[in-house]
Amino acid sequence: MIVDVVLGLQYGDEGKGKVTHYLAKNENYDYVLRFNGGGNAGHTIFHNGKKIITHHIPSGVLHGIPSIIGPNCVINPEAFFAEIEELEEAGIDCRNLVKIANNCHVVTRDHLMSEVGESTIGTTRTGNGPAYASKYKRSGVTASQCMHLSDFVIDFFNEVLDKPNLKILAEGAQGFGLDIDFGDYPYVTSSHVTLGGLMLCGFHPSSVRHVYGVAKVYETYVGAKEFQDYENDKLAIIADIGQEYGATTGRLRKVNYLNLDTLYKSIKVNHPTHIIFNKTDILRKVRNWNIIDQQGIKKEMNSEETFCDEIQLFINKINPNIHTRFSFSPDRI
């Protein structure tokens, strides 16, 4: 078994979808597997020149790869079927490719209702937290118990874990700063978004080959907590040029400069073999190369070169074997 994984090093929306899309096209994976979260996620992908947004459905389907909504995920059947139809309208026939792990949990109407008006955390109101709460209270409904989903449900142990020699690309949702354990609790999501979250699917640790950590050259966060400590006008320009609107909720994302403390912790917890920094093209347009160091102090870099060198140096000090790449394009890495 070989498992490569794409996961978020910041607060979600780092561009994981783009990286997954690139890898799924260029490597021959048997499955693409989502290992956490549910309809709260929004992956924006440019596929054959078309902008496509997925929520539950792993982006492997865009390349005809069977794709699994994994254990530790939650699924809202109504939203799932709407998403299949949306993809079909965009010319992507995914009905026969998408599978749901038997032990994935269902988001019910009650879960959705209990988030109406929620404002404390600023959730996506997709019933995510309540569904995980029911799961852990042992009053939840699994996918295998849900009639509507029966055509899609597979026995994850038999079909994946007990099969020899599969090559799997796992994609995480959200990012390190939103992790239920490592994030800024309670301003977090309700799932395990780190490499540890992937391991909960049941893979042997030695089967993990490449860990692609994805970050942006600045940070964004959607939710209720205070996030911008610095001058808002420059950050507002980054948000505008970077088109920083939530793919699930359409909310304007809060922007801040690249934070080395977040990066340090997420590298230490996720052990990436590769790091992709997205949206370097946006900072090039804005001509603003600031970094917040581990002490929380803003450092103004005077050029793109010094900015990239500073980050590279920082990563080398943590682990010189990490392959780092800066991306300048919405559809390439």
Q: Which of 62, 106, 222, 301 binds ligand IMP (CB under 6 A)?
A: 222
Q: Which of 5, 11, 13, 24 binds Mg ion (CB under 5 A)?
A: 13
Q: Which of these is catalytic: 4, 13, 47, 55?
A: 13
CA quadruple 264, 270, 273, 276: dihedral sign: negative
43 in catalytic set = yes
Q: How far is the CB of 249 from ligand IMP (least distance, A)?
A: 7
Tell me whether the omega of the peptide bond preceding residue 320 falls within 30 degrees of 0, making it cis. Answer: no
In residues, how long is the chain?
A: 333
Q: Which of 247, 292, 301, 315 binds Mg ion (CB under 5 A)?
A: 247
Tell me: does residue 180 bind ligand IMP (CB under 6 A): no
In degrees, to the nearest 5, what angle opens at C-alpha 267 toward C-alphas 254 and 10? 15
C-alpha 148/C-alpha 55 separation (Å) is 19
Tell me: does residue 74 bind ligand IMP (CB under 6 A): no
179 in catalytic set = no
Per CB under 6 A, which of residues 41..60 are in contact with ligand IMP?
41-42
Q: Which of 15, 37, 42, 242 binds Mg ion (CB under 5 A)?
A: 42
Q: Render 112-177 in DSSP notation, one character per residue.
A: HHTTTT--SS---SSSHHHHHHHHHHT---BGGG-GGGTTTEE-HIIIIITSTT-EEEEE--S-GG
Place of tokens 């792990």: 101
In angstroms, the Cα distances linking 210 to 200, 287, 318 are 17, 33, 17
C-alpha 189/C-alpha 11 separation (Å) is 10
> Pattern of binders to Mg ion over 192-231, x per CB under 5 A?
----------------------------------------
Greatest extent of the chain over all pairs of C-alpha atoms, in Å: 59
Tell me: does residue 13 bind ligand IMP (CB under 6 A): yes
Q: How far is the CB of 222 from ligand IMP (least distance, A)?
A: 4
Tell me: does residue 121 bind ligand IMP (CB under 6 A): yes
Q: Which residues are catalytic?
A: 13, 43
What is the contact surface with Mg ion in residues (CB under 5 A)?
A: 13, 42, 247
What residues line the site for ligand IMP (CB under 6 A)?
12-13, 40-42, 121-124, 126, 128-129, 173-174, 178, 187, 189-190, 222-223
